[in-house]
Amino acid sequence: MRRADHKVYIFKFRPSSHSDDYTIVATYRDAGRAEKVRRALERLLKDMEKHPDDYNVDWSPDEARILLDGEKVWFEVYTAGYLEDVESVIRKVAKPENIECYRYYQELRIRVRVPKGLTAELALLVLDREEAEAIRWFRENCGEPKVIDCGDDTQILEWFYSGDGIYGEDEDTLYIGFEFRIEDRDNWEVWEIK
Amino acid sequence: MNERMKRAENLLREIAGMIRGELENRMDLIEKITSRLEVTPEEYMELMVSEVVTNSEIYVGAEFAFPPTQSHNPEKVKNKALKLLEKKLRRDCRLFLTI
């Protein structure tokens, strides 16, 4: 008699109706394990080329990118979520400590110049509503800012952000629950690091 | 949960059991594959069951196999799941046993 109540792990990625730039970041206990997974993912891409009928994906292997950074393995591709084969390799070859999945992954450095001595907490009370909301968002999502003394009567609050895409470079706008236009504000700067 | 979803969930459970049984019948192969991996045979089987059951063709098939839609047939969904398992086992043999 077979068990009828199997433990079913829900694979994280499910196809949807529209495509996005997906970035999966899997973190392993050490760099050796990560390298092993990177090699297995390379083999997976080659296998997809040789045996396309065994894969149900909406992307071609040459569109995917695999990166290794210490104990982290990155897999990037434009897809509507057809990532089950990738996830299978990531979970089987070595046990990941953590798997994160992002859409339109970005790494940003955000700086806002404020009067000297103004803490992020006080800035919420002093600055205009949109600026205060933006600062609140970055404090909630990136933690307390680094404070850089400018040597005059101002200082810079700086955050580092990594995650789903929130910044449109062309429009110079942050999408953080509302549209926060940077180009209208001389005291704000955003750099896209990745 | 409505009646259709309950029946779909039961079908997916049935498919999970069927896939698990197929894997257990091939324990020699599973042990060979997992000897090259970090997961245990038990973990490998759990992952494989999940991979098949959460495959879009399978869970969508199960969802639409009962009234009022009934555009899929439960038996055909089960057969599709078995074929998918074969593909995935072939894939894993190529990926992990040929290195």
Q: Which amino acid is at A77?
A: V
User: Which pLDDT belongs to residue A5?
Assistant: 44
Q: What percent of chain B has pLDDT over 70?
A: 98
User: Which pLDDT belongs to residue B43?
Assistant: 96
Q: Which residues of B touch A43 (CB under 8 A)?
A: 95, 99
The pTM of the whole model exceeds 0.95: no
| Residue of chain A with shortest Cα separation from B59 | A14
Task: Provide the pLDDT confidence category of residue B99 given band limits of 50, 70 and 90.
Answer: low
Query: B38–A93: do the CB atoms touch at under 8 Å?
Result: yes
Interchain CB contact of A29 with B (< 8 Å): no
Q: Which residues of A touch B88 (CB under 8 A)?
A: 88
Using the Cα atoms of residue B36, residue B41, residue B44 and residue B45 in order, give the sign of their dihedral: positive
| Residue of chain B with shortest Cα separation from A92 | B39
Q: Which of B18, B46, B99 sits opposite A7 (nearest CB)?
A: B46
Least confident of A93-97, A155-159, A162-166, B68-72: B68-72
Task: Provide the pLDDT confidence category of residue A159 given band limits of 50, 70 and 90.
Answer: very high
Residue A7 has pLDDT above 80, yes or no: no
Give the whole-angstrom CA distance, residue A157 versus residue A120: 8
- Across the range B15-37, mean pLDDT stands at 96
Residue A127 has pLDDT above 90, yes or no: no
User: Which pLDDT belongs to residue A12?
Assistant: 54
Q: Which residues of B touch A94 (CB under 8 A)?
A: 37-38
H-run or E-run covering A133: helix A129-142
Interchain CB contact of A157 with B (< 8 Å): no
Q: What percent of chain B has pLDDT over 90?
A: 66
Interchain CB contact of A35 with B (< 8 Å): no
User: Which pLDDT belongs to residue A1?
Assistant: 35
User: What letter does residue A117 receive in the DSSP assignment?
Assistant: T
Which residues 6+ apart lie within 8 Å of A81 measured at CB? A13, A14, A15, A16, A22
Omega into B68 within 30° of 0, i.e. cis? yes
Query: A85–B91: do the CB atoms touch at under 8 Å?
Result: yes
Task: Provide the pLDDT confidence category of residue A109 given band limits of 50, 70 and 90.
Answer: very high
Global ipTM: 0.88
Which residues 6+ apart lie within 8 Å of A34 measured at CB? A26, A27, A28, A68, A70, A71, A72, A73, A94
User: Which pLDDT belongs to residue A2?
Assistant: 38
Most distant CA pair in chain A, distance: 78
Partners of A160 in the β-ladder: A109
User: What is the residue-averaged pLDDT of chain A?
Assistant: 89
| Residue of chain A with shortest Cα separation from B16 | A6
User: Which pLDDT belongs to residue A13?
Assistant: 58
Give the whole-angstrom CA distance, residue A45 versus residue A65: 10
Tens-place pLDDT, residues A39-71: 999 999 999 999 999 998 999 999 999 999 999
User: Which pLDDT belongs to residue A97?
Assistant: 96
Query: A54–B90: do the CB atoms touch at under 8 Å?
Result: yes
User: Which pLDDT belongs to residue B1?
Assistant: 65
User: Which pLDDT belongs to residue A40?
Assistant: 97
User: Which pLDDT belongs to residue B74?
Assistant: 87
- CB count in 10 Å sphere of residue A140: 9
Residue A184 has pLDDT above 70, yes or no: yes
**A79 in Cβ contact with A61 (< 8 Å):** no
Interchain CB contact of A164 with B (< 8 Å): no
The tokens for B88 are 């995935």
Main-chain dihedrals φ then ψ at residue B8, nearest 5 degrees:
-65, -45
Torsion of CA A68, A72, A78, A84, to 10 degrees: 120
**B59 in Cβ contact with B38 (< 8 Å):** no
Query: B96–A6: do the CB atoms touch at under 8 Å?
Result: no
User: What letter does residue A112 receive in the DSSP assignment?
Assistant: E
Q: Which of A2, A14, A91 sits opposite B56 (nearest CB)?
A: A14
User: What is the residue-averaged pLDDT of chain B?
Assistant: 91
Q: Which residues of A touch B55 (CB under 8 A)?
A: 56, 84
Tens-place pLDDT, residues B32-70: 999 999 999 999 999 999 999 988 889 888 888 888 877
Distance from chain centroid for Cα A176 = 14
